[in-house]
Structure 1
Amino acid sequence: MSTPSPETIEWRAEPGQVGYRDALDAMTERNRAIAEGQASEMIWLLEHPPVYTAGTSADGAELLDPRFEVVEAGRGGRYTYHGPGQRVGYVMLDLKQRGRDVRCFVHSVEGWVIATLAEIGVESWRSEGRIGIWTRDIDGREAKIGAIGVRVRRWVTMHGFSVNLAPDLSHFTGIVPCGIEEFGVTSLQRLGIDLAPAAFDEALRARFGDFLEALEGRACALP
């Protein structure tokens, strides 16, 4: 069976906010439909109203100030925050068609975000032992600019990544983001870059072919 081409993957970019529970329900249904061959794969780009989400490894002690709704997400990882000014990418791909390698999928998603940030002038990287995408903050210290959290059901991926364009960074203080206390959180805006969500989406799409190439095993580590 041939691997589906990029042209068969639906891209959906939401102009407004989508409630987290609504998005989770829609993503779960799309996951089922993809697994059963009833729908195409999909990249879904959106923003949520303020919400804290709990992954399967969430520790209640890291929920410091639950000022927003807290939702069990079903993905891997711990607590994270989503809200206005943060671009979320839900990646729903059929790994039966793309190598059945969850580790390579996660690595490739990280590389996709890193390559996209490079396109807009921000150097970022993975950091050994720390989940997420990291960059140099305005004080010179490392800080998280993107989060990664995935789930795979019936070899179809769910959830994906989030990147801080211009969120209210004080909202992250209600949790220990991804269980990492000793490093802060930053955003493109804090780094002096004002970027509209549509422009970020365009940069993501420009590097999508590289992401698929990595995922399908021809170059699992993106430059």
Structure 2
Amino acid sequence: MTDLAPAETEKLAPDTPLVRRLGLIDYATTFERMRAFTDARKQGTPDEIWLLEHPPVFTQGQTGKAEHVLAAGSIPIVQSDRGGQVTYHGPGQLVVYFLVDLHRRGYGIRSLVSRIEHSMVALLGERGIHAYADPEAPGVYVDDAGGKRMKIGSLGLRVRRGCTYHGLSLNVAMDLEPFSRINPCGYQGLKMTQMADLAGPISVVEAGEALLIHLLRELGYVA
């Protein structure tokens, strides 16, 4: 993995985010590096957006309750400091982390959450998937044929020193079975779905590059 020290990117314009495509990388390692980057960044350090996948792991949010993990089996559980409850990450799921200076961007955390959700909804719409956000339950959802809500995209952030880390996960083409071992995001019986099941074959890389276009626009980096 590339050294993520902020000093590497000081030469870039403050409003230009550095996009890192990290491939498959361990959750705990990435978590530590996000925190280190956030603690070390300076006023002029450019924002960064990381696109990646994780090996199988359950992560607990900072207010996560143990009873929402039903049967972890051999999949490790890692305590995180993001918002929200327990979720699952695994190969075939697109993860995007946002290392964003909110003060410099000029908007707050609620606006950032909405912008990220809008980006996912826009991407899914391009694939013919009607998706929507719920202000009462962060994330992105679709309805099945019977009108029952299913979740396709999750979101959890942390703000530290006015800057964010953590981000979104979008189910692209993965094994969804591990979600049955938890109450996803703390909701009992919440069914998860993914892009490949709703709109045909797509790779994580393809989904990531398409989503990035919407993210850069929604987050105000490009017109």
Tell me the distance in 2 between the aligned counterparts of 1:146 and 1:46.
15
Matched, 1:193 2:214: no
Aligned to 1:13, the other structure's residue is in SS state strand
- For structure 1, the 5+ residue unaligned runs are 219-223
After TM superposition, the score normalised by the length of structure 1 is: 0.87
Hey, what does 1:13 align to over in structure 2? 21
Percent identity between matched residues is 34
Tell me the distance in 1 between the aligned counterparts of 2:107 and 2:162.
7
- 1:75-96 deviations in whole A, cap 9, x for unaligned? 0100000001100000111011
Matched, 1:79 2:86: yes
CA RMSD of aligned residues (A): 2.1
Hey, what does 2:115 align to over in structure 1? 108
Hey, what does 1:59 align to over in structure 2? 65
In structure 2, give the amino acid aligned to 1:148: L
- 1:116-159 deviations in whole A, cap 9, x for unaligned? 22222222101253332101236653200000100000011110
- For structure 2, the 5+ residue unaligned runs are 1-12
Hey, what does 1:41 align to over in structure 2? 47
In structure 1, give the amino acid aligned to 2:36: E
- 1:159-188 deviations in whole A, cap 9, x for unaligned? 010000011111111110001114310011
Name the CA shift for 1:139/1:191 in 2 (closer, same or farther; >3 Å).
Answer: farther
Matched, 1:212 2:219: yes
In structure 1, give the amino acid aligned to 2:47: E
Aligned to 1:123, the other structure's residue is in SS state coil
Q: Which runs of 4+ in 1 moved over 2 A?
A: 36-40, 127-131, 136-141
1:31 to 34, 38, 51: 38
Deviates more, 1:193-202 or 1:44-53: 193-202
Work out the number of aligned pairs and report it.
210
